[in-house]
Structure 1
């Protein structure tokens, strides 16, 4: 973290290049991510990213941290760019349950509710100093037929606002007790319509697809490979490197080998390293860190950072700050090229073709 204002940052502040948060860390402004900005001093500036590509502004039960408050959380950290995910699979509106894991049998079903709230908030409370990308999270991958019509409805109601799809669930074992079923190969073949629509719009899709579980680490890998084979020209982001609470003991070398093979075979595939489960069970595990650092350095143009924070009313800024720090811990050990691509946002800017540029790393 920051250790007082560096000469680089002082100069950038004078040029509207940095902002100093209430927490006394050095954080750059949105305007600093234009061509010609001061180089990034990794010794004096944070290792946390400037972009949070996996951030849920809405929770499962609808009782959310207010939109403006969530934006304030970002402004108090290094984050200046974020994906505004809802959560597409919500608990019933009349349910008293707030955590589906504690309510087995209660359905968690796809819905448009969170997306519409996010869109309305974006219009009414568009933030200063942040660049937010609105995402469609309603899609039911096991019942894809209505998706294109709903995408067109979104465009009619909120023209030009949505530029991403996801996080959507191909298979999420954590919700099996809440009536979620994995999409089948037949279901995946029926994605053709909305995947074509996404290609036409040049929009990415983030897919949650569990790799497997501790009993069978690659049980569900064929489903993701099926999707990649059928839709190789789509910008697909595989969330959490395929990991979950159901898979915490996989051999790191085997995990990395699978990720490497798929990245080599499918040039449009990207992975996100969101969710602290990756650091808790893999990146920080004895003997694993060097393996994952080498992997991330090698494939640094194919990786996106994210917190996977859920803006449930019971959470607060300190929870977000902690999640951001834990999910970013591995950034400290990356080489400068990987750090610029991932933490400083160049991959994100390139993926969305944004008119922003990651600063170079100071030598």
Structure 2
């Protein structure tokens, strides 16, 4: 056989193997985007390609090993993730892995999980998936301790932490574990560390419950105080303020409130993580369409996430389910919102990542 014919055969074989790899690989959707130049929603996954809210460390007990967890992301088609710890840790001698199982046991902010994450990131990190390290140690009730903590992180892991949070402004689920909401005076005293975050362009994710079924907006004033005092900071509101304690708020009222705050505060981003949003709100008859319409009107103002907590009693099937459940809202989005939210354009923009997502293919 001539050299020319050999080269032709090899070229054909290479193309065939590439096509098979695209179909067989868990990341086939990503390869398909490159192949077609656009994202075909009819044939490619609706699950989010970004997980902006992922806890690599549990509240207590053993964690899923770093390599195993990043393997979950690759198998799921997630190519970018924010690498949260859990700032609020259970005592090492408590024997608990989840705070709800241990009422009365104090849950306090700590640097331990951030340092484990940073060590894993420095030693094991690859480019697939791309991870963003987050500082979760911040005690918002004791803001005077935060600048020194950031300085320590700078010294030990310079330029590695590019996100802050999830940190708790108010989290009702932790009240039995001695957590107390931050006060207006606390928020006023955030100014030094918020200045640092602002100068570095670091987003901060705040868990701030809106309220409870008895008083749906009891704690709204706290988030409004933060937004008023720090209008130039990139603030991400975890779970849009919803929680297990607030399962009956009128969706129209909630959407009107979110819209008002987005209109008043251009640097506010909504976090769509946690299956509570799907289970308690989006899945109800007629409600998904209302939230999808709201996101379609504000396509650049939300980011996706699972809120998966990587405790060792969980596995890939659990992560895969959390990703699927929290991604169901994506199916109802229009193409612009889908690209910005599900494919990650908003996440890239928030972090200043010089990367862009594929355009969504036009329906023929």
User: What TM-score do the two structures reach when normalised by structure 1?
Assistant: 0.92
Q: C-alpha separation between the residues in 2 aligned to 1:283 and 1:340?
A: 20
Residue 123 of structure 1 corresponds to 122
Q: What does the per-residue CA deviation read over 1:138-192, in whole Å, with 9 as the maximum and x for residues that have no partner?
A: 0011111110111011011001110000000000000000000000001100100
Q: C-alpha separation between the residues in 1 aligned to 2:275 and 2:285?
A: 16
Q: Which runs of 4+ in 1 moved over 6 A?
A: none
Q: C-alpha separation between the residues in 2 aligned to 1:362 and 1:85?
A: 33
Residue 210 of structure 1 corresponds to 209
Shift of 1:127: 2.3
Residue 195 of structure 1 corresponds to 194
Shift of 1:94: 1.3
Larger radius of gyration between Structure 1 and Structure 2: 2
Residue 307 of structure 1 corresponds to 306
Residue 28 of structure 1 corresponds to 30
The verdict on how the C-alpha distance between 1:156 and 1:16 changes in structure 2, with shifts beyond 3 A counting, is: farther
Q: C-alpha separation between the residues in 1 aligned to 2:322 and 2:195?
A: 35
The CA RMSD measured in Å over matched residues stands at 2.1
Q: What does the per-residue CA deviation read over 1:180-233, in whole Å, with 9 as the maximum and x for residues that have no partner?
A: 000000110010010000011110000000000000000000000000000000
Residue 286 of structure 1 corresponds to 285
- Contact 1:172/1:208 (CA < 8 Å) preserved in 2? yes
How do 1:259-338 residues align onto structure 2 when only pairs under 5 Å count?
259-338=258-337
Residue 362 of structure 1 corresponds to 361
Shift of 1:291: 0.8
- Contact 1:309/1:320 (CA < 8 Å) preserved in 2? yes
Q: Secondary structure at the match of 2:144?
A: coil
Residue 248 of structure 1 corresponds to 247
How many residue pairs are counted as aligned between the two chains? Answer: 349
Deviates more, 1:260-269 or 1:344-353: 344-353
Residue 81 of structure 1 corresponds to 80
- Contact 1:37/1:359 (CA < 8 Å) preserved in 2? no
The verdict on how the C-alpha distance between 1:134 and 1:37 changes in structure 2, with shifts beyond 3 A counting, is: farther
Shift of 1:21: 3.7
Residue 38 of structure 1 corresponds to 37
Shift of 1:19: 7.7
Q: C-alpha separation between the residues in 2 aligned to 1:69 and 1:27?
A: 21
User: What TM-score do the two structures reach when normalised by structure 2?
Assistant: 0.92
Q: C-alpha separation between the residues in 2 aligned to 1:133 and 1:305?
A: 15
Higher helix share: 2
The verdict on how the C-alpha distance between 1:240 and 1:60 changes in structure 2, with shifts beyond 3 A counting, is: same
Q: C-alpha separation between the residues in 2 aligned to 1:360 and 1:348?
A: 16
Shift of 1:100: 1.1
The gaps in structure 1 that reach 5 residues or longer are 1-9
Shift of 1:104: 0.9
Residue 92 of structure 1 corresponds to 91
Q: What does the per-residue CA deviation read over 1:20-76, in whole Å, with 9 as the maximum and x for residues that have no partner?
A: 445xx73316x978xx97200001100011110000000000410000100000000
Q: Secondary structure at the match of 1:49?
A: coil
- Contact 1:17/1:32 (CA < 8 Å) preserved in 2? no
